[in-house]
Structure 1
Amino acid sequence: MTLSFKDQLDQHGAWRRDFALRLKRLSEWLGENELQDDGVLERLRRLEQQVRADKVMVAFVAEFSRGKSELINAIFFAGYKRRIMPASAGRTTMCPTELGWDPEVLPSLRLLPIETRLQPQGLSEWRQVPERWWQVELDVKDPAQLAQALEKVSEVNHVSLDQARELGFWHDDLPEDNPRLTSEGQVEIPRWRHALINIPHPLLKQGLVILDTPGLNAIGAEPELTVNLIPQAHAVVFILAAESGVTRSDMAIWRDHLSVPAGETDSRLVVLNKIDTLWDELSTPEQVQEQIDRQRSTSAEILGLPVERVIPVSAQKGLMAKITNDTDLLMASQLPMLELALAHGTLAQRQRILRAAVAAGVAELREEAAHAIQSRRRELAEQMVELKGLRGKNSAVIRHMQSRIEQEQAEFDESGARIHAVRSIHLKLLRQLMELLGTAQLRGEMSELTYALRQPGIKLGVKKAYGRTFDRLRANLQRARAISTEIHAMLGSAFRQLNAEHGFSLQIPREPDLQRFEHDIELVQRSHLQYLGVTNMLRMAQASFSDRVVRALTTRLRAIHEAALAEVELWNKSAAAQLDAQLRERRRNFARRIEAVDRIQKAAATLDDRITELAGHEGAVQGLNGRLAELTAPLLNPSATLARIASASSAEADDDFEPSAAFHQPPLKKTA
C-alpha cells in the first residue's frame, strides 16, 4: 500500500507487457491446433489492442498562478534535475497541453495555431491534419533544450479587440473574465490553440497521458476541451493556492467544469498548493499545521468533497527536495501524500477495471476453446466405437456402414437450408440494430439540438432541446438493447437445436452490454448541461462558438455509438465464426469417416492401424485442455501476475510491444 504513483504505473506497464506476450503465445497455440476461428482471432486482436492502447489520463486544472506547471514538474519531471514545463511567475501554460508518448512519432512539440478557431473543425479533426501543426523536434537527452522548446506553450499574441472577439477571448457582456489590454489597446491571447508534447518519458511510455489546462478564460473558450477531454480523464487534479483557498474564479471553474455528484468524487483530487507560504518562523509547527488543516477542511466543505480528497502540498519545495535528494524537505512538502492518493485512488481503480475486462474476455475465449476441444473428443470417440464395431465384419457390413455415413452426410447438408433461414432472420434484426446505432440515425436525432444551438443570439430554450435530444438517444439505445436481446434469444434457441440434432458444442457469446453506453450518454449530457452556465450561455450567442459546441458534442456521441457498434459487430462475428467452424469441422469429419471405411474395405489390416491412429489423436486432444488451462491461467489472474512482477527483480523495460504476427496469420495445418 506504499507504492508511489510511479511505482504503481511501472508495475502496470510490466503487467501489460507480460499480458501481450502471453496473449501472443495463446494465439499461436490456438492456431497450431485449429482452435482459432475468425471470431476468436478478432477477440484476441481486440484484447491485445485494449491492453496496448490503454492510457491513464490525468488532467491538471487550475486558474493562473496556482503552481500547476510546477506541480507537474515535481511529480513527473524531477528526474531531469531541473524544471521542464515552464513555471515562472505569472501566466505560463497559455494553451491546453497534452503530454504523452507515441513511438510512431519522433520526440517533438506540436502546436496548433490559435487562428484555427476561425475554422469549423474541432480539435479531434485537426489532429488528423499534421501539416497544420507547427512542429519543434525535441532532444530528450538535453534537458536545457527540452525546457527551452517547451517555453513555446506560454507564447502569446497581441490582437485587436475585434480579433479577440472573433477568436472567443473577449466578451463585452463579461468584462471581469476578459484578458488584460496592453497600453496600445490590444488584447493578449495565447499564440497556440493546443499543444502536443511527445517524449519517451518512462511514465508516458507506460501509458500515462498528462493534460495541462490553462485558466478559466481559456478553458471556457474551448468546448471540446471541457466537454470531451476533461470528462474522459481518469483523474482530475484541481489546484488551489493554500494562502487564498477557493477564490471566485476557482469556484467558477469547479462549478462549470469539474464538479461531480457526491458518490463519484474518486476521480477528483484537490491540491492546496504553496503551503510553504504558510510556513512562518513566528508560528510553531503545530500552529502552521492547524492553519493548513483549517484551510483544507474549509476548501473541502466549499467544494462538496470529503476532506481526504484535498491534499496540502508545496510543489516547489517538493521539486527542490527531489533535485537535491533532501528527504526531510520532501516529507515537509507532503508531495508523497499526493502521489499516493493518485496511485491508490484513480490509477488503481482504472487498472482494476482494465484487468477485470481483459480477464473476462480471456475467460470467454477459454470457454469457447474448451467446447471446441470437447466436441473434437466426442467425435473421435464416436469414430473409435464405429471402427471397433467393424472388427470381424464382412465387406457387405462395411459397405452398409459407408452408405449410412453418406446418408448422414446428405441429411446434414440438407439442414443447411434451415441454418441459412436462421441466419437471414438474424441478419435482418442485426441490420435494424446497426441502423439504430449508425451515423445517419445519430445525425437525425441531433438535428433539433443542432438547429437550436446554431440560432443567433441568447439560446434560452437550449436546455430543453438538450433534454429532448438525449431522451431520444437513450430511447434508441434501449431499442437497440431490446433487439440485441431478441437476437440473443433466437441464436440461443437455434444453437441448442443444432447441438441436440448434430452433437455440436455451440456456445452463444455473451450479449453485448449496451447499457454501459447509456451511462456514457448520461455523462455527456451532464457535462454539457454543466457547461451551459451563465458565462458560457453568453459565449454561445456567438455563432462560431456554438458551432464548436455542436462539433464537440457530435464527436463525443459518435465515438460512443461507434464503440457500441464495435461491441455488436464482435458479438455477431463470434457467433457466426463459431457456427462456421463447427460446420467445417463436421464436413471434414464426414470426409475422414468415409475415407477410413473406404481404406478398410480395401485392406482389412488398415482397420487396426486406423484405430491405433485415432487412439493417438484422442490422447493428444485430451492433452489440449491441460495446455489451454496452463496458457490462460496467468491471463485470468492479474493479481497473481502482479505479485510475481512485484517480487521479481526490476529490470529496465521498454514498453513497446512485439508485433503480434500470430494475430494475422492463418492457423497452421494439423497433421492427422
Structure 2
Amino acid sequence: MTDTTFDAGLGQHRQWRLKMHTRLQHLAAWLENQDLLEDGSRERLRLLERQLNTDRITVAFVAEFSRGKSETINALFFAGQGRRIMPASAGRTTMCPTEIGYDPAVPPTLRLLPVETRSDPAALAQWRERPEAWVEVALDATDPERLAQALARVTETVAVSEAQARALGFLGDADQEALAVDRAGQVLIPRWRHAWVNLPHPLLEQGLVVLDTPGLNAIGAEPDLTLSLLPQAHAVVFLLAADAGVTRSDLAIWQQSLGGRPAEAASRLVVLNKVDVLWDGISAPAVIAEQVEAQRRSVAEVLQLEPSRVLAISAQKGLLAKLTHNEALLQASGLPRLERMLADEVLGRRQEVLRASVRKGLDEVQQLVMRTVEQRQRELTEQYHELASLRGKNEAVIRQMRARIAQEETEFKASAARIHALRSVHLKRQTEMLDLLSTSTLKREMAQLRAQLAQPGFKLHLGETFRATFDRLRSVLTQVQEQNLELQGMLSATFSQLNAEFGFSLQAAEAVDVSAVLRELDAIEQAHRQYLGLGQAIRLARAVFAEQLMRALAARVRAIFEALQTDIELWSKAATAQLDAQLKERRKAFQRRREAVERIENAAGGLDDRLREISERRSEMDRLRERVFEEVAFVLAPTATGEPMARAA
C-alpha cells in the first residue's frame, strides 16, 4: 500500500479489484474471439470475476464491555461524519453483535433480531433469510444526528426474570458481573440478539464490513459468532484497557475464541485503548512512554504474541483530533499506526490472497488454451507435410490421399465408444466423490454427535463423541482424496494412449489438494472445543443452545465440504473440456484436409497456393501462441493509476 491510511488503502484495493475484473473480462472476450474459450476456461474465468466483484474485507472488534470498541470504530471509520455514529457513552454501549456493511440492493436500514429468538435453535444464517423476524428501522445517512440516534438502539436492554434470563442463555459464570439487576430484582439483558446496519458510506461501499461484538457473554452464548463470523474476519482487533492490561475475562475471550493456531496470528491485532488515562500531566513524557512500553510487552507475553502486534492508542483522543483537525493530538493518540497496520497487513494480505487465486486460475486457463493452440499447430504441420508430399504426383495419388483421410476419420469416429466409456467412468467416479461430500453424508457422520447433544441434561462423554465425529469426517476427506488420485491416474493413462494414437496433447491436471480442507476441519474442531469444557456444561444442558451449537457446526463443515465439491467439479470440467476442445479441433482438421485435397483436384496450382496458405497460418499460430502469454501476463501485471483498463484487441 502506498498510502498509510486504511480508508485510502481500501480505496486502492477496490480500484485494484476493478482493474483485475476488467482485465479478466478483456481476456475472456479475446479468447472467445480467437475461438479458444472452451467451457472449462470460461467457467474458471467467471468464478475469478465473481470472486473479485463480491470480495469483502471484514474487520472484527472484540473486547469485554467498556474497552472502547465502538469509539475505536468511530475514530477509524466514521470520523468523516463529524460526530460519533456508533454509541460510545460511558458504561455498556453495544449490547449485541453488530455488523455494519452496505448492500446497494437494500435501503439504508438497521435490522434488529429480538433476543427471544435465542429460544429457537435456528442458526443466524437461517434468521437472515427470515426478514419478517427482524425489527427494521429506516436510516437517514445524510443526517448524522438522526443516524446516531437510530443506531443507539443497539444499546437497548430489557428487564426479565432470572428464570427467563437463564432460559435465554444468560447468567452463566461470565455473566454474573456483566449483567445489571434493576430495583425490582429483574435482570437487564440485551434487547436484541443481533444487529445488521446497511449504510451507504464510502468505506462500506468499497467492500468494508465492520463487526462489533459485545463482550464475553455474547461470544460464549452465540456459536455462530465464534464459529462463523470471527473465523471469517480478515482482521480481528482485540481491545484491552491500557491501565488494566489483560484481565481474567479478557484472557478468557482470547483463549476461547481468538488464540489458537499460529496461522491465525497474522490476522490478530491487540490494542491497548484509553492510553490517555496515563497522561496525568505530572509524569514526564519519557516516563509515560516507558510505562506504555512495559504494558505492551507484558500483554504480548501473556497472549503469546510478538510485541509488534500490540499497539497503544487513545481512540477518544484520535476521534477528537480528527474532528478538530489537530494533527499533533492525532499522532499522540497512536491511531495512525493502527490504520497503517490495518492497511498494510489486512489489505495487503487480502490482495495477495486474491492475486494468488487469480494466478492459479489463469495458470489453469493458460494450460487449457495452449493445448488447443499446440493442437492447431500440430494439425497444420501434419497437413503441410501431407500436401507437400503430393508435389509431382498424379491424380491417382491424390485420390489415395482422399481415401486415407476418409479412413483415418472413420477410425477416429470408431474411437468414440472408448471416449464415451472414459466419460462414463469419469462421471461415475466424480459422482462418488460428490456423494461423499453431500449433505446426506454429513448428516450420517454427524448423527451420533447430534443425538448426544439432543439428550436432556448434562452431556457425559461428549468429548469422546466429538473427537470420533471429526475422525470420521477426516476419513471422508481422505477417501475423497484417494478417489481423486485414482481418477487422476486413470485419466493420465487414458490421455497418454489418446495422445499416442491421435497426436493429442491431453494432460490430466494434478489431483485436487484436500490438505487445505483437512486443516480447515482441524480449525473448526479446535474452535468448538471451548464448548465442551465444564464452564459450558450449564449452557450445553439447554436443549436450544445445544441445537444452536450443532447447527453452527454443521453449517461450517458443510461450507468447506461444498467448497471442495466446487473444486472437484471444476477439476473434472477442466479434464473433459480439454478433451472436447481437442476432439473439436481434430474434426475441424479432417474438414480442412478434405477441402484442401478438393481444391488441389479442381484447380491448377492449387497445391502451391494451399501450402502457402498453411505456412501463413502456421506463422499466425506462432504469433497467437505469444499473444496468449502476453494477454495472461497483462492480467497479472502490476496495476498503475491511469493505466488503460484494457489492452487493444
TM-score when normalising by structure 2: 0.95
**Per-residue Cα deviation, 1:265-288 (whole angstroms, up to 9, x for no partner):** 222111110011110112111121
Match of 2:573 in 1: 573
Counterpart in 2 of 1:325?
325
Post-superposition Cα deviations, 1:78-137, rounded to whole Å, max 9, x if no partner, equal: 111211111111221111111122233233222222222222210011112233322233
Q: Does 1:415 align with 2:415?
A: yes
Task: Tell me if 1:448 matches 2:451.
Answer: no
Distance 1:593 1:225, change over 3 A: same
Corresponding residue for residue 394 of structure 1: 394
| Separation in structure 1 between the aligned mates of residue 343 and residue 302 of structure 2, nearest angstrom | 25
For 1:157, the aligned partner's letter is V
Displacement of 1:316 after TM fit?
0.3
Question: Deviation digits for residues 186-241 of structure 1, max 9, x if unmatched?
Answer: 22222221111222323223322211101111221111111221122221111111
Worse-superposed segment, 84-93 or 340-349: 340-349
**Alpha-carbon distance change, 64 to 202 in structure 1, aligned in 2, over 3 angstroms:** same
Instruction: Report deviation, 1:362.
Output: 0.9
Task: Report the secondary structure of 1:210's partner residue.
Answer: strand
CA distance in 2, matches of 1:76, 1:174: 31
Q: Separation in 1 of the partners of 2:201 and 2:535?
A: 38
Q: Which residue of 1 aligns with 2:107?
A: 106
> Which stretch shifts more, 202-211 or 478-487?
202-211
Alpha carbons 1:256, 1:533 under 8 Å: kept: no
The 10-residue stretch of structure 1 (510-519 or 258-267) with the greater mean CA deviation from structure 2: 258-267
Question: Is the 8 Å Cα contact of residues 245 and 299 (structure 2) preserved in structure 1?
Answer: yes
CA distance in 2, matches of 1:116, 1:332: 44
Q: Indicate if the aligned counterparts of 1:56 and 1:209 stay in contact, CA closer than 8 A.
A: yes
1:157 matched to 2:158? The reply is yes
Does the 8 Å contact 1:368/1:507 carry over to 2? no
- The 5 Å alignment of 1:512-523 reads 512-523=512-523
The aligned residue for residue 48 of structure 1 is: 49
Q: Helix, strand or coil: the match of 2:500?
A: helix
Is contact 1:314-1:335 (8 Å) kept? yes
Q: 2:157·2:190 contact (CA, 8 Å) conserved in 1?
A: yes
Cα gap change, 1:206 to 1:513, in 2 (>3 Å):
farther
Match of 1:295 in 2: 295
1: CA distance between counterparts of 2:51 and 2:122?
Answer: 28
Partner of 2:596: 596
Query: Unmatched 5+ residue regions in structure 1?
Result: 652-656, 659-672
After superposition, give the CA deviation of every residue in 1:627-652 in whole Å (9 maximum; x if it has no partner).
22222113234xx32xx24xx59x9x
Partner of 1:379: 379
Deviations along 1:344-391, one digit per CA (max 9) or x if unpaired, are 334322321221121121122112212211211221222223233334
Residue 83 in 1 paired to residue 84 in 2?
A: yes
AA aligned to 2:359 is A
> CA deviation digits over 1:12-57, x for unaligned, max 9?
2111111000000000011111111111111011111222222222
Deviation readout 1:166-187 (Å, 9 max, x if unpaired): 221234x777256222112322
The answer as to whether partners of 1:59 and 1:235 remain within 8 angstroms in 2 is yes
1:500 to partner: Cα distance: 1.6
Partner AA of 1:443 in structure 2: K
Q: Aligned-pair distance for 1:605?
A: 4.8
Letter matched to residue 183 of structure 1: R
Query: Relative to structure 1, is the Cα distance of residues 498 and 597 closer, same or farther in structure 2, using a 3 angstrom cutoff?
Result: same
Q: Are the counterparts in 2 of residues 262 and 304 from structure 1 also a CA contact under 8 Å?
A: no
Alpha-carbon distance between aligned partners in 2 of 1:60 and 1:313, rounded to the nearest angstrom: 14
Asked if structure 2 preserves the Cα contact closer than 8 Å seen for 1:227 and 1:531, the reply is no
Structure 2 partner of 1:535: 535
Correspondence 1:465-484 to 2 at 5 A: 465-484=465-484
Cα offset, 1:408, TM superposition: 0.2
Instruction: State the alpha-carbon separation in 1 of the partners of residues 39 and 124 from structure 2.
Output: 36
CA distance in 1, matches of 2:177, 2:404: 87
Q: Per-residue displacement from partner, 1:308-334 (whole Å, max 9, x unpaired)?
A: 221110000001111111110011101
Q: Secondary structure at the match of 1:446?
A: helix
Task: Give 3-state SS (helix, strand or coil) of 1:577's partner.
Answer: helix
Specify the alignment match of 2:39 in structure 1. 38
1:116–1:193 CA contact under 8 A, matched in 2: yes
Further displaced range: 551-560 or 365-374: 365-374
Find the counterpart in structure 2 of residue 550 from structure 1: 550
Q: 1:507 matched to which residue of 2?
A: 507
TM-fit CA distance, 1:612: 4.0
Measured against aligned partners, the alpha-carbon deviations of 1:495-519 in whole angstroms (never above 9, x if no partner) come to: 1221121111223223211110001
Shift of 1:262: 4.9
Residues 5 and 336 in structure 2, CA contact (< 8 A), matched pair in contact too: yes
| Change in CA separation of 1:569 and 1:261 when aligned onto 2, cut-off 3 Å | closer
Letter in 2 for 1:130: P
Name whichever of 324-333 and 104-113 sits farther off: 104-113
1:249 counterpart SS class? helix
In structure 2, the residue matched to 1:180 is: 180
Secondary structure of the residue aligned to 2:91 is: coil
Amino acid at match of 2:350: R
Give SS of 1:57's match: strand
**Cα distance in 1 for residues equivalent to 2:255 and 2:458:** 21
Q: Which segments of 5 or more consecutive residues in structure 2 lack a partner in the other structure?
A: none
Q: Give the match for residue 654 of structure 1.
A: none
CA separation in 2, counterparts of 1:19 and 1:346?
Answer: 19
Q: Where do 4+ consecutive residues of structure 1 move more than 6 Å?
A: none
Task: Give the Cα–Cα distance (whole angstroms) in 1 for the partners of residues 9 and 255 of structure 2.
Answer: 31
Secondary structure in structure 2 of the residue aligned to 1:83: coil
Q: Which moved more, 1:338-347 or 1:51-60?
A: 338-347
Distance 2:528 2:212 in 1: 21
SS in 2 for 1:239: strand
SS in 2 for 1:604: coil
In the aligned structure 1, how far is the partner of 2:6 from the partner of 2:510?
35
Q: 1:378 to 1:174 in 2, by over 3 A?
A: closer
Q: Deviations over 1:556-611 (max 9, x none)?
A: 00001000100000000111111011112211221222233234323335444444
**What TM-score, normalized by structure 1, do the two folds share?**
0.92
Measured after TM superposition, the shift of residue 73 of structure 1 is 0.6
> SS state of the match for residue 491, structure 1?
helix
CA contact (8 A) 2:174 2:249 kept: no
**Contact map agreement 1:517 1:560 (CA 8 A) in 2:** yes
Separation (CA, whole Å) in 2 of partners of 1:299 and 1:533: 25
> Who is 1:305 aligned against?
305
8 Å CA contact 1:110, 1:196 repeated in 2: yes
Q: Helix, strand or coil for the counterpart of 1:477?
A: helix
Give the conservation status (yes or no) of the 8 Å contact 1:108–1:138.
yes
SS at match of 2:64: coil
Distance in 2, matches of 1:366 and 1:540, equals: 52
Distance 1:130 1:175, change over 3 A: closer
With 356-365 and 542-551 compared, the bigger mean Cα shift is at 356-365
